Structure 1
Amino acid sequence: MAGHRRAPSTSFKAKPRLSPVPLRDIFIIRLVNAWYLATFFQPDEFFQALEPAWRLAFGANSGAWMTWEWHYQLRSSLHPLLFSGAYMAADRLSAIFPPGNAIRSAIVIAAPRILQAFIAALGDWYTWHLAANVYGSDSNVSFFALFMQLLNPWQWYCSTRTFSNSLETTLTVMALSYWPWQLVGVAPYSIKENSNPFNVLRGKLWRLRASLCLAAFAVVLRPTNVLIWLTIVFIALTRITLQGNSPLSFSSVLVLFREAILCGSLVVGLSIAADRLYFGFWTFPPYNWLNFNISKSLAVFYGRNPWHYYLLQGIPLLCTTSLPFVLPALIKPSSKTTDQANILRTLSCTVFSTVAALSLISHKEVRFIYPLLPALSVLAAPRAAAFFTTVPKTSPPPSISSAAQISAPQPSGTKSPTVRRARLRNKPLLLTALGVNVILAGYLSFLHQPAPLTVLSFLRKQYERIHPSAVHAAHATHYASPPNGTQEDLFALFLMPCHSTPWRSHLVYPGLSAYALTCEPPLHTQPNTPERDLYRDEADRFYDNPVPFLRHELFALENPVVPVPRYIVGFEGVEPWLREFLDTPEGKGLGISQLTPVWAGFNGFFNEDGRRAGYMMVWDTGVYGESGIKA
């Protein structure tokens, strides 16, 4: 008996897994989510994913807008590479329709959202798996973690958007669900005196490798993701804050570091190879990103936030109605076993350390802490389940199957045991929380900044109507501009803050020539210099002095930046400036007799940027005929 070792805790034994909501159904939910999400949030959704993906799929002559980060190799090509595959597949699939058919462009536009809907569904599904690792797969608490994730307004607003943060969130929760949580469990020992601790990674190597590879992809995609994994590994090695405070065996530590090096090297190698093919030379974007941010200090160019931003705004926006359950769970996680307590404490420490580290950076956004949302749902689930349901003492904890009755699903071919039920309580509060979530999700989906998407739909349809031969040629050449393709001098001029709309991913046709004001950062300046402090980008200069900017920069008589456009697009506040400009010698020289409003789009009841207030408008300059030739 002396040489026997105690088996690992039963909390970690493999159990049959049957999610209360199948992945197929979650995918359908996210497809509906993606279909009805008709609003604009932030430019990175398009310019850091879809524009480079469009270029990858359809070539350098496709008209994609490559922002400055791509010219300095600050982004990994792995993210757009994913969506370029979706574009190419959609292009081939849509070929069943004849060239010139508008359905072809609609399929291509929808392709990235469909792929992102599947990525979002995986994130939801693996949130349940992570909860099942902690609470058990047949636990009512595990269902509540999935329930909170599916109905979270932020998740509805962002999960089907093509942000790198959205993919990072899914990769992170997948890695957490595969992570061998035995590393933070109560380390089992041999009963024999002076024997070594049990190797808790025995039989778990493939799960560990899957977790490390997924984590490495997340770190390559978003280098700040390393904060999550540094915290988890640090706690596993030091066992700080854990119960059963006994060290890991040397063999477990050795295996962990060996696999981390092997998996990390594999992923980094794949990333470097992909970037070599994309950029044409050897480079490593995570290093470039870190070095560039340290040397140039450009983060503040995109906004500066107070140190408490994530505490007072970030986490509340991320959690919304689940916040009352999240806050106490972060301080004192609810657990029934020592192993549960250790896992939850590790997740809680991960949230604290990541938020603390990111709070030291001047530029902050809620989506930077988005990868923490699944962990927050898992932490809050026990308190939410206890508040909204009650389980009779004679019945074990169930899984929800309906709003009024909760029963655990059974694998096919097994005998159904006695139905295990839980009863809902505090129904008015539950319905109120659900109502608030639905209202928030509905407003964000339909009413908060829909115009940036609908205006491009209007312009695209106008182009299809005026230039059917160019549309036919674009489809025939797979959205690359043919050598002698039809193209107007300038179809649309966007006079609004830079990146206020998507670009080629929604304009589609390379012959649809457009120009928008830019906001390149002051790369030529040094931090803390007057030149940096006084720098004004093109959009700033327009809003500082609209009429002089139009006269002496954009339409200067000697060297105009752009030709006369068919359409001018802007928010309604710029119309008086445009009409004032048309009375100047430079304005009269354009040959625009009058501006005719041809489209107006509602853009929400409020906007964080006052320059985007009011309706978005499209004005016809009247200088082009229906054939695209100047009148």
Structure 2
Amino acid sequence: MEKIRARLKFGDQGEKVKLRRRKSQLYTRKDESALSDGVLRVAVFSVVFRLINCFLVQTNFVPDEYWQSLEVSHHMVFNYGYLTWEWKAGLRGYTYPLLFAVIFKTLHLINCDSVHLLIWLPRIFQSLLAAFADVKFFSFVRSLEGRDTATWTFFCHLCSWFSWYCCTRTLTNSMETTLTCLALIYFPLPGSKTHCSKTYLTLVALAVIIRPTALIVWFPLLLYHFWQEDDKLRLITHNFIPVGALALVISTAIDCIFYKKWTLVQFNFLKFNIFYSVADFYGSHPWHWYLTQGFPVVIGPHLPLFLHGCSLAFRRYAILLVAIAWTLFIYSLLPHKEFRFIYPVLPFCMIFCGLSLANLKVWRRAAVSVLLVSNLAAALYTGLVHQRGTLDVMTHLHTLCDASRPQTTDVLFLMPCHSTPFYSHVHCPMKMRFLECPPDLGQDGYVEEAARFYSDPLIWLRTSFPYKSSLPSHLVLFNVLEKEISVFLQANNFSRTAEIFHTHFPEGRVGGSIFIYERH
């Protein structure tokens, strides 16, 4: 009897254990289902958000947005347009423009290559890629810090005015930042559950191919990985060297095909920037510019949260702070400085901002309100108003591309060089010219065309167009130039046909409005 009772008791316990296991499995499935539903909602929201972001950015930022991507892609597919001096000197790689060239070629093959699709599809592609990075970034922070911190980090990331302003643009800096954000997800940070050496190294290699200066951001991170790795020799021989070599071979092959000669872009990039100091030609700033202006503007209203987050997680994410400080330090040593150069470290900063908001209790609502209002105002103004004229003028010029006018149309841009996009935004072979400004590469007595023009606009116009038959049919200029050349305009029967708003903050040769003059 005792044996029977013992067996029955053991059987009851076994049933209880089985029941517990089933409940545990059921709860695990429910958790996984909830997590997947949460990620799906984040994904849908991110895609919709970035598409709205894309269409609400209708302004010009820097020339490279077009001249290092869309103009090159247009020339690759349609065999007309203008390539800047960097492409003639083998200084830029074709890998990034090739992405948009594929889109352009596909549109051309299906006879849908309208100018609107040529302008917006590359930006939509960039937006979807940014949305994918947003979702992966959210999942990554959730695996590190939990859902609450991940939610606030995601909020900070999406409401950043500078990310809104840049991430959907066809800038190499935008792609570099997206790839850096994705690579960080697979980087072996303390507590990371998704690290994969080959994946993150592949993404880093791609970022370096697209923009060689991406190596600045990743240099301390690569050193950290090497220092933490137990089998250092295997890391070098099985990961660093194979991934780096394969990326270099593929990018060189692409460049050789399109340059139609042996070209090592990375070597040319270093040669021109070290021996000729080409970057200095485009302006210089004091060494402290990134500390006093650059970084505070890029991080914007998030700065107090970032500083608070640093105090909370200084030790836990010290390597990210080192990467941020290193990037600011190296770029501070270079004379030529721009806001977009430090954009790739912004996702790193958002982790600290999210930690700050997650730990704020009393002041959280006030902080969220300030972030939303200030970032929204900056994002909408810079995206819809500030510096939009140079894009709107191309839309106006596109109306000249009808069946009869391209052969007789001759547009001259009397503006600082590369002020506007070019053939990628009109998509017809009408004649267009602008004041060129390649850097001085050692030529004796070299003076760029734009500098010669602005030194005495009237003399330049009279010597460049001695006969009325050689005059252009249209002139495009900022309003600040009109008074200086009014005599030339009147003498040659030019009349103003359009005035287009550009900015509320004119500066130097860049005016508040753009005028289009037509000769009658």
TM-score by length of structure 2 reads: 0.88
Considering only aligned residues, what root-mean-square deviation do their CA atoms show, in Å? 2.4
Conservation of the 8 A alpha-carbon contact between 1:175 and 1:211: yes
2:503 alignment partner in structure 1: 604
| 1:361–1:257 CA distance, 2 compared to 1 (3 A) | farther
Does 2:510 align with 1:616? no
Does 2:415 align with 1:491? no
Mapped to 2, the partners of 1:495 and 1:567 lie a distance apart of 10
**Residue 237 of structure 1: CA displacement?**
3.8
| 1:280–1:368 CA distance, 2 compared to 1 (3 A) | same
Deviations 1:408-449 (A, max 9, x none): xxxxxxxxxxxxxxxxx5434422321111111111011101
Mapped to 2, the partners of 1:221 and 1:367 lie a distance apart of 15
Letter in 1 for 2:419: S
Matches within 5 A, 1:475-486: none
Conservation of the 8 A alpha-carbon contact between 1:127 and 1:378: no
Deviations 1:380-431 (A, max 9, x none): 21112222x57xxxxxxxxxxxxxxxxxxxxxxxxxxxxxxxxxx5434422
* Aligned equivalent of 1:503, options 393, 406, 422: 422
Conservation of the 8 A alpha-carbon contact between 2:66 and 2:170: yes
Deviations 1:21-54 (A, max 9, x none): 5333312211111112111111000001111111
1:270 alignment partner in structure 2: 250
**Residue 235 of structure 1: CA displacement?**
2.5
Mapped to 1, the partners of 2:454 and 2:217 lie a distance apart of 41
Aligned residues: 486
* Aligned equivalent of 2:320, options 331, 341, 347: 347
* Aligned equivalent of 2:116, options 106, 114, 122: 106
* Aligned equivalent of 2:439, options 514, 521, 524: 521
Conservation of the 8 A alpha-carbon contact between 1:130 and 1:378: no
Q: Secondary structure at the match of 2:475?
A: strand
Letter in 1 for 2:136: Y
* Aligned equivalent of 2:75, options 51, 55, 60: 55
* Aligned equivalent of 1:459, options 397, 400, 423: 397
Letter in 1 for 2:319: T
Matches within 5 A, 1:127-526: 127-136=137-146, 139-181=147-189, 207-238=196-227, 248-249=229-230, 251=231, 254-255=234-235, 257-330=237-310, 332-334=311-313, 341-342=315-316, 344-387=317-360, 389=361, 426-461=364-399, 463-464=400-401, 467-468=402-403, 487-488=407-408, 490-510=409-429, 512-525=430-443
Conservation of the 8 A alpha-carbon contact between 1:38 and 1:450: yes
2:125 alignment partner in structure 1: 115
Q: Secondary structure at the match of 2:39?
A: coil
Conservation of the 8 A alpha-carbon contact between 1:130 and 1:173: no
Deviations 1:104-144 (A, max 9, x none): 332222221111111222332233234234213xx211111
Letter in 1 for 2:245: S
Mapped to 2, the partners of 1:131 and 1:545 lie a distance apart of 57
| 1:48–1:615 CA distance, 2 compared to 1 (3 A) | same
Conservation of the 8 A alpha-carbon contact between 2:410 and 2:472: yes
Deviations 1:543-569 (A, max 9, x none): 1111111112x2145xx9x93222111
Q: Secondary structure at the match of 2:412?
A: strand
Mapped to 2, the partners of 1:282 and 1:271 lie a distance apart of 12
**Residue 296 of structure 1: CA displacement?**
0.7
Mapped to 1, the partners of 2:64 and 2:97 lie a distance apart of 12
* Aligned equivalent of 1:24, options 44, 61, 77: 44
Does 2:475 align with 1:555? no
Conservation of the 8 A alpha-carbon contact between 1:127 and 1:145: no
Letter in 2 for 1:495: L
Mapped to 2, the partners of 1:86 and 1:368 lie a distance apart of 27
Mapped to 2, the partners of 1:146 and 1:91 lie a distance apart of 38
Letter in 2 for 1:157: Y
Percent identity, aligned pairs only? 31
Mapped to 2, the partners of 1:435 and 1:350 lie a distance apart of 30
Mapped to 1, the partners of 2:194 and 2:516 lie a distance apart of 60
2:96 alignment partner in structure 1: 79
Conservation of the 8 A alpha-carbon contact between 2:94 and 2:254: yes
1:542 alignment partner in structure 2: 453
Conservation of the 8 A alpha-carbon contact between 1:542 and 1:549: yes
1:45 alignment partner in structure 2: 65
Mapped to 2, the partners of 1:55 and 1:286 lie a distance apart of 22
Q: Secondary structure at the match of 1:610?
A: coil
Unaligned stretches of 5+ in structure 1? 1-14, 96-102, 186-199, 240-247, 336-340, 391-424, 471-485, 526-530, 623-631
Q: Secondary structure at the match of 1:282?
A: coil
Q: Secondary structure at the match of 1:22?
A: helix
**Residue 270 of structure 1: CA displacement?**
1.1
Q: Secondary structure at the match of 2:503?
A: coil
Q: Secondary structure at the match of 1:306?
A: coil
Conservation of the 8 A alpha-carbon contact between 1:498 and 1:518: yes
**Residue 582 of structure 1: CA displacement?**
4.8
Letter in 2 for 1:147: F
**Residue 505 of structure 1: CA displacement?**
1.0
Conservation of the 8 A alpha-carbon contact between 1:90 and 1:111: no
1:12 alignment partner in structure 2: none
Q: Secondary structure at the match of 1:619?
A: strand
Instruction: Name whichever structure is richer in helix by fraction.
Output: 2
Q: Secondary structure at the match of 1:508?
A: coil
Letter in 2 for 1:613: G
Mapped to 1, the partners of 2:306 and 2:513 lie a distance apart of 38
Mapped to 2, the partners of 1:269 and 1:79 lie a distance apart of 15
Bigger mean CA deviation after superposition, 26-35 or 253-262: 253-262
Mapped to 2, the partners of 1:162 and 1:360 lie a distance apart of 27
**Residue 78 of structure 1: CA displacement?**
0.5
Mapped to 2, the partners of 1:125 and 1:282 lie a distance apart of 40
Letter in 1 for 2:125: L
Conservation of the 8 A alpha-carbon contact between 2:140 and 2:194: no
Deviations 1:51-71 (A, max 9, x none): 111111222xx2x21000001
1:10 alignment partner in structure 2: none
Conservation of the 8 A alpha-carbon contact between 1:133 and 1:177: no
